[in-house]
Amino acid sequence: MLSRRSAAVTANRWRLGEVLGRARDTDWSRALPGAGLGYAVGAGAVLAAATALWGPRPGMIVAAGAVNAGTVGTTPGLARPRAAMGVSLAALAAAAFLGMVTARRPALSVVTLVLLGAVAGLLARTGQAASTTGTQAMVGFVTLGRSPQPPDTAGVLAAGIVVGGLAQILPQLVLRGATRGSAVRHRASAVRPGPAPDVGRPPVGEAVRSTGRALVSTDPQARWHAVRLALGLALAQAAAVWLLPAQRGYWITLTVLNVLKPAWVTTASRGVDRWVGTLIGVLVVGGVADAVGLRGVALVAAVTALLWGAFALQPVNYALFCACIAGYVVLFLQVVAAPPGDSAVYRAVDTTLGGLLALFLHAWVRRPGSRPSSDRPGPGATRNG
């Protein structure tokens, strides 16, 4: 009787039923096969063109901008996805530049990532767009930080990321403008003349103001999340750089970045999804890539197929998204960093360690007197994060 009551108290404290329910939540009606295919083909075309011009490594880096735009464009809960794509692209290029130029000095790289993580942690509760932008930027810092470059080369590659992203964003804006203009003309002829509706401009000013408010915020949950994220990144990146260089322990850092969120239930459910999805992605795609060695047309086709799955399934279930995007990241790092010893088993182990670290930090690094079950998502949060 006592053990049963103790188990009930523990389940209530950690909200295990809600965590597992959120992790299993799958809604196929939210799938985006058409939009996902458009973004995936766009990224594949950018990869093919850049590879033909400059080679596979620069091609993958330039295509990272297109992949970023597609990931943001299919993220649920964004009020202005195209504006968010532009802001996120700029943040990704800047973070990638910092990652490449600081990579030769590991201590400086860790300190820079920790500072960026603290800022992203404060921004995470200002809305889904800010949270997505911060996470995408730091993923760029970590992955491209595996390819140290002098400042001039890093600047050229960062500019290439912007070009790759614009290749995704500009056609979307043109098509949207043509569609909206046609709709406005149709309504004007059918009803009565009047001013065209405001289509909205990229909220750059609002993004700057939100950033300023977040940095001076007195919201204790935002501050504690910033502490958790900065501490988690410091531990994960230090382990990746100094303790596990042969294993390419940056998978620990990538997992902490993607799993750790302000809300406990979101963190725990994403941890489960991320672990399951990433294990599938790295073991299947990593195993095939290690055995076959994808190059040329086969590499472009594999990247396009994985990105289609990621973009189309992102609103459906986070584990499915993680499986596809982890497979893409495996191919990206295999081409960009050419890491010896980066086996699928190491990736699986490091992903597990990163997920456990994120859960530990959220469970124990928090405001005195609070409990994990008291955390709630910030404004603009969605079921995916």
The length of the chain in residues reads 385
**Rounded distance, CA 85 to CA 97, Å?**
18
Beta carbons within 8 Å of 183's beta carbon, 6+ residues apart: none
Q: Minimum mean pLDDT among 35-39, 69-73, 137-141, 288-292: which range?
A: 288-292
Per-residue model confidence (pLDDT) at position 200: 38
Most confident of 78-82, 173-177, 283-287, 356-360: 356-360
CA-to-CA separations, 291 to 283, 323, 344, in angstroms, rounded: 12, 19, 11
SS3 74: coil
Per-residue model confidence (pLDDT) at position 84: 86
Per-residue model confidence (pLDDT) at position 345: 74
Percent of the chain beyond pLDDT 90? 31
Say if CB 348 and CB 279 are below 8 A apart: yes
Residue 382 forms part of a structural domain = no
- Render pLDDT for 213-234 as a digit per residue (tens, 0 to 9): 655 655 777 788 888 999 999 9
pLDDT at 164 over 90: yes
pLDDT at 339 over 70: no
Q: What is the mean pLDDT of residues 182-196?
A: 38
- Render pLDDT for 345-359 as a digit per residue (tens, 0 to 9): 777 788 888 888 988
Residue 106 forms part of a structural domain = yes
Residue 302 forms part of a structural domain = yes
Average pLDDT, the chain: 78
Domain span holding position 32: 19-193+211-374
Residue 12 forms part of a structural domain = no
CA-to-CA separations, 144 to 61, 180, 328, in angstroms, rounded: 8, 38, 14
pLDDT at 5 over 60: no
Per-residue model confidence (pLDDT) at position 155: 96
pLDDT at 184 over 70: no
**Rounded distance, CA 97 to CA 135, Å?**
16
Per-residue model confidence (pLDDT) at position 326: 86
**Rounded distance, CA 303 to CA 23, Å?**
26
In this structure, what token pair is assigned to residue 314?
């992102």
Per-residue model confidence (pLDDT) at position 380: 43
Q: Residue 147 — pLDDT band, cuts 50, 70, 90?
A: confident
In this structure, what token pair is assigned to residue 69?
């735009």
Beta carbons within 8 Å of 106's beta carbon, 6+ residues apart: 241, 242
Per-residue model confidence (pLDDT) at position 153: 94
Per-residue model confidence (pLDDT) at position 199: 37
Q: Residue 312 — pLDDT band, cuts 50, 70, 90?
A: very high
What's the number of domains the chain is made of? Answer: 1
Higher pLDDT, 203 or 301: 301
Per-residue model confidence (pLDDT) at position 143: 86
Residue 380 forms part of a structural domain = no
> DSSP alpha helices (H): ranges in the chain?
2-14, 16-24, 33-54, 56-73, 81-102, 106-123, 128-144, 151-190, 204-215, 220-238, 250-259, 264-292, 296-313, 318-336, 344-364
- Render pLDDT for 11-41 as a digit per residue (tens, 0 to 9): 445 677 777 777 778 889 999 999 999 999 9
Per-residue model confidence (pLDDT) at position 48: 95
How many C-beta atoms surround the C-beta of residue 243 within 10 A?
11
**Rounded distance, CA 381 to CA 132, Å?**
10
Q: Minimum mean pLDDT among 165-174, 217-226, 252-261: which range?
A: 217-226
- Render pLDDT for 88-106 as a digit per residue (tens, 0 to 9): 999 999 999 999 999 989 8
Residue 8 forms part of a structural domain = no
**Rounded distance, CA 269 to CA 359, Å?**
10
**Rounded distance, CA 167 to CA 52, Å?**
16
